[in-house]
Every structure is written in structure tokens, then in C-alpha cells.
Amino acid sequence: MLNILLKEIKLSASPLAFLFIAFGLMFLLPGYPVLCSAFFVTLGLFQSFQYAREANDTVFSALLPIAKKDVVKGRFLFTCFIELSGFVLMAVCAVLRMTVFVSAAPYVNNALMNANLFALAGALVIFALFNLIFVCGFYKTAYKLGKPFVTYIIAAFLTVGVFEAAHHVPGLEAVNAFGTERFGLQLITLAAGMAVYAGGTALAYAGACARFEKIDL
């Protein structure tokens, strides 16, 4: 498993995939829809898929002495590695905003969703959508990128809109808790986001494997 991941990192990955992890720092921006940072992390992954396709990496990987499902596994391991790296950076920024910068005026007066554990749950939901819609969709042909990515973009920004609007819904104001307020509720939403990410990624992997097995390269 480690060798498959190293192959993806050293031979198949675009440098942009690593560079775009830094967009996790957008969680520090006040007055900005912080969940866009998760989208930009996946945009770097999209560039990596495109880079690998142009290098004919899928055929190369399929010619290695490994099962076809291991080709898919390698790409999923790399995808999750980048996503979780971005998530860790977002989490650090969120914790800073919830503790060290809790009294900073730009954050106190922030008109948009606060960078809290609920926001981190939203980032995980967006990553799950990327895996389900784009990565799994890519393996329908193992070549075409456009349609699954456009579908993912629509789903991702609808999700951003839903999360940004949630605290304006009567009865849901608590999800936009500032700092460590309503911490128990924040933890519950984060746990739910983790469950969505784990379950969505598992479904995406199973679907991608089934689709890739049917492709005659």
C-alpha cells in the first residue's frame, strides 16, 4: 500500500496538488466563505488527475504487476492524503480563531460563517463530494474529466451556500457558535462530517473499482 502511494506522489502527482494544500490557510480570512478553501484543495487534485491523464499514467499503472483495483486504490490514497493534509491545516487555523484570536475584532464582527468545528465538518462534506462525484465519476472512463468535475463544482458550491446559510435558519443559530461556545454541538457536527467523509469515500472507492474493472484499456 505504501509503495502504491509513493508511486502516486513521485510519478503521477502534479506539484499543484501539494501547492494548493496551502489554501487551507483561507480559514484565517475574516469576511470570506471559508469553505471555498476545501474547493481549492480539490482543484489542485483535479490538476493532478489531468496531469496524470496527459502522461498516460492510468495505462502505465495498469501494466504494473498489480491488480486493477490497486491502481484505483493508489489514486484514492493520494487523494485522501492531499485532502487530509489540507484539512489539518484548516483545523489548525480554526483552532487559532477559536482560541488565540477569539477576541480579534475582524473575527468578532465577521458577517459570514465562523471558522469553527461546524465549518470543518463542511470541509469534510465537500471532500466527500469530490471523491463521490469526481473521482468515482472519472473511473467511468478513466479518461474524461470535464463532466464529473463540472458536476462536482455545482454540488460543492451549493454545499458552501447551504453551510453559509445554515445559521440564518431559525433554530440553527448555534452552529455558528464563536470560539468554544456550544462546543458539544460543534463536536457532534464534526463527528457527523467525519462519518460522511469516511462513508462517502468508501462508497466512492467501491464504485470506482467496479467501474474500472469494466474498462478495456
Contact 27, 93 (CB under 8 A): yes
CB 136 within 8 A of CB 207: yes
Q: What pLDDT band is residue 190 in, cutting at 50, 70 and 90?
A: very high
Picking from 7, 129, 18, 125, the residue whose alpha carbon sits closest to that of residue 75 is 7
139 pLDDT tier (thresholds 50, 70, 90):
very high
Give the Cβ contact number of residue 133 at 10 Å.
Answer: 21
At residue 59, the pLDDT reads: 81
122 CB burial (10 A radius; 0-12, 13-18, 19+): buried
**What does the pLDDT look like over 13-24, one tens digit per residue?**
899 999 999 999
Backbone angles phi, psi at 102, to 5 degrees: -65, -25
| Average pLDDT along the chain | 92
d(CA 143, CA 58): 8
Mean pLDDT over 183-209 rounds to 96
pLDDT at 217: 63
- Tens of pLDDT, residue by residue over 73-103, are 999 999 999 999 999 999 999 999 999 988 8
